[in-house]
Amino acid sequence: MATVQAGSHTTSVRKGVNIEIVSIIWMVIEAVVAIGSGIVAHSIALTAFGADSIIELVAGGVLLWRLTIEARGASLARVKRAEKTSSWVVGIALLLLAVYIVVESLVKLFTHQGTETSFTGIGLAIASGIIMPYLSRTKKRIGSEIGSKALRSDGSCSMVCAYMSWILLAGVILTALLGWWWIDAIAALALVYYVVKEGWEAVQEARGK
């Protein structure tokens, strides 16, 4: 029975490694396309979306390192140390995301800037809005299977990215149809409580609380 459980755990860890690799590849694509398109279109929203992707890329890289250590059969003590480090990084990444959301939203509100983007940016937001929820659910499921709070928190990072994609799209549509230039900034601010809560829980996990 113990052997079966150990085999199942190892399989889940390997799945975790694979999903983080996929996530990192997508984050690189998302960051390059968003920042490039944002600079060309002079879009603060898209450029900031790319910055968000870079924060998530760092978190994903640390999680990949943590999962790879366990997949290679490291000692339990070393896995726990890697988990603690990952929780710190992911927690701080989520808190940085919260700061990013607040700053970008307040700048938009004070400057009366609606969502401006390009067709490339819209396509990227649609793709991200479809891909990221899948990655989020998979990370959270695998994180529960292997007992990794850090991986579950990284799943929350991915979900924040999905929310920001949907907000970006809604902002483009509502600004064009109704002139609601402020709607995406307000909707983004509504996410802050959720992001801070998840980030703080990850930091507390890293502190052993």
Distance separating alpha carbons of residues 33 and 120, to the nearest angstrom: 8
- Per the model's pLDDT, the better-predicted residue between 111 and 29 turns out to be 29
Q: Using one digit for the tens of pLDDT, what is the confidence trace for 102-143?
A: 888 888 888 877 666 678 878 888 999 999 999 999 999 999
Q: Using one digit for the tens of pLDDT, what is the confidence trace for 137-175?
A: 999 999 999 988 889 988 988 888 888 888 878 877 887
Location of structure tokens 């809604």: 170
With a pLDDT cut of 70, the percent of the chain lying above it is 92
pLDDT of residue 115: 62
pLDDT of residue 45: 67
Distance separating alpha carbons of residues 26 and 61, to the nearest angstrom: 12
pLDDT of residue 127: 93
Residue 40: is its pLDDT beyond 80? no
- What is the residue-averaged pLDDT of the chain? 84
pLDDT of residue 128: 92
Instruction: Among 12-21, 120-129, 169-178, 192-201, name the one with the lowest average pLDDT.
Output: 169-178
The domain locations on the chain are: 1-207
Q: Which class is 1-207 in CATH?
A: mainly alpha
DSSP letter for 148, please.
-
3-state helix vs strand vs coil in the chain, percent to 5: 90, 0, 10
How is 4-40 classified by DSSP, letter by letter? HHHHHHHHHHHHHHHHHHHHHHHHHHHHHHHHHHHHH
Is the pTM higher than 0.85?
no
Distance separating alpha carbons of residues 148 and 79, to the nearest angstrom: 10
